[in-house]
Structure 1
């Protein structure tokens, strides 16, 4: 038992790099294969971690009542860590084994807590067996920055900036249509939407949204920003009016990156249907 605990702590150890985050996620996947989801999620999740199954629920609470299945596997193809080294994001393809295989994409947000990476957000969206490989994008921060002092007022102010950005996005879409997304996307931005393989690239994302959605509105539940001031996430509920006169609600998680002009752009978005 002591050896298992020591190994897990070492595997999650962070040096503030994307490489260390990918190592932690590899060990996480190996723990699922060896010990099952319940044990692995309990070991790798922060106390306040949220998993979307499909609505957000505390990870430790959820897996306390789940069987320890070992049929989930995944491979990251995208990873970023904040310049403060204490906040990161990964995403990629997952497979669930069984009588018939299930496929999809996941997105996870991680935080460095007491010197090790811990999962704080986990969400996935299903699709058919993928036909197109995704090129890996593992990005290390260009420099290191962490403020010497960051009190409650500064944290609240930073969070409010992200919330305001998302309110502005919703307002622009309402006023100018789905094409307004173009002003909030990085050139290499990614979208994970149920039923579709990852949509990568600003132009492809705008074309996708225009082809599928008549309109979309977002109700943000919460937001968080890395102490390095360069990455942030939001989550909440999106209501999509399709061009086919149908409407559907989704849980979403968005990842934002601060640009040199101080604006915040979307670098990754994932949607999963809410519970019916």
Structure 2
């Protein structure tokens, strides 16, 4: 064998060994961050815990997208409401720097709805959330606090960089938006991942394809979507996006998780959150 062939074979072996040695991203770390956030919520109160665990660029819908630090920083101190929540479904990027969790929450012991949080690993290795805000989904039948968490399948492919991933996701969002202008249900069924979830109504979060189709039936038949922002993982395999939504009788915002599957970018999570109606003068 020629020396060049030996060098090429050695390089391939080194790459394979490095890939095998690379630690697999564990969604349990996102779950741990969420649970720490929830524990601080009970110990510190809503304002203190939300300020502590949100990234500087984190947003909430109030009712328009606003920086979380500004919203909670301006909130009054004190408050006696006990907000409790726990994750039941979570996912993470292959690069271990972007993830999400969702689950039910209660206020003063009364079950209310579901939360949804997008998380990003920080430069110091810790986690901060980028978005927090969930649908009015019914918590009926939800597993109790401390129950096992289900994990979304990891991405099958990766774009290779955040910039390339966002360019591809932008195209996927544009295709979804184009389809939703004439037939929202068909557009979503073409874009949703096999294990994807779509929420926004007061029904329980879909746990089957039939549930998902029923959830889509609660939405307007046509919607105009306009992207506002988002971020992709370092590997380019997972991305979150948010934007504005308008339909015949209302408006609101969407928040999504996109995953790069074998067939391309697919919706792993989508919530449509109507904006509060403006009182008529």
| TM-score bucket (shorter structure) | 0.7 to 0.9
Aligned residue number for residue 92 of structure 2: 81
Mapped pair 1:110 → 2:82: no
Shift of 1:127: 4.6
Counterpart CA distance in 2 for 1:186 and 1:144 is 14
Counterpart contact for 1:83–1:144, Cα < 8 Å: no
Structure 1 residues 220 and 201, CA, compared in 2 at 3 Å: closer, same or farther? farther
**Which has the larger share of strand?**
1
Secondary structure of the 2:94 match is coil
Residues 188-203 of structure 1 correspond to what in structure 2 (within 5 A)? 188-203=195-210
The correspondence of residues 38-77 of structure 1 with structure 2, limited to 5 A, is 38-66=47-75, 67-69=77-79, 70-77=81-88
TM-score, normalisation: structure 2: 0.78
Q: 1:222 to 1:142 in 2, by over 3 A?
A: closer
Task: Give how far 1:73 is off.
Answer: 0.9
Q: Shift in Å at residue 216 of structure 1?
A: 1.6
User: Which range moved further: 50-59 or 206-215?
Assistant: 206-215
Whole-Å separation in 2 of the counterparts to 1:68 and 1:203: 44
TM-superposed deviation, 1:49: 0.8
Once residues 146 and 158 of structure 1 are traced to their aligned partners in structure 2, the CA distance between those partners, rounded to angstroms, is 5
Q: 1:217 offset after TM fit, Å?
A: 1.9
Partner SS state of residue 140, structure 2? coil
Query: CA, structure 1 residues 102+56, in 2 after alignment: closer, same or farther (shift >3 Å)?
Result: farther
SS at match of 2:217: helix
Q: Structure 1: any 5+ residue segments left out of the alignment?
A: 1-14, 242-246
How is 1:16-165 mapped onto 2 (pairs within 5 angstroms)?
16-66=25-75, 67-69=77-79, 70-97=81-108, 101=110, 103-113=112-122, 114-127=124-137, 130-133=139-142, 136-139=149-152, 141=154, 155-165=162-172
Residues in 2 aligned to 1:259 and 1:48: alpha-carbon distance in whole angstroms: 28
Q: Which segment drifts farther, 15-24 or 53-62?
A: 15-24
Question: May I ask how many residue pairs the two structures share in their alignment?
Answer: 247
Distance change (3 Å), C-alpha of 1:126 and 1:53: farther
SS in 1 for 2:135: strand
Give, in angstroms, the shift of residue 138 of structure 1.
2.3
Does the C-alpha gap of structure 1 residues 71 and 233 become closer, same or farther in structure 2, counting only changes over 3 Å?
same
For structure 1, which segment, 76-85 or 48-57, has the greater mean C-alpha deviation from structure 2 after superposition? 48-57
- Structure 2 segments unaligned to the other structure (5+ residues): 1-23
Residues 127-155 of structure 1 deviation map (CA, whole Å, 9 limit, x = unaligned): 55x323368412474899896xx5xxxx4
What is residue 268 of structure 1 aligned with on the other side? 269
Give the number of the structure whose alpha-carbon radius of gyration is greater: 2
Q: Could you say if the C-alpha distance between residues 104 and 240 of structure 1 is closer, same or farther in structure 2, counting changes exceeding 3 Å?
A: farther
Give the aligned CA root-mean-square deviation in angstroms: 2.6
8 A Cα contact 1:79 1:138, kept in partner = yes
Aligned equivalents of 1:84, 1:138: Cα separation in 2? 16
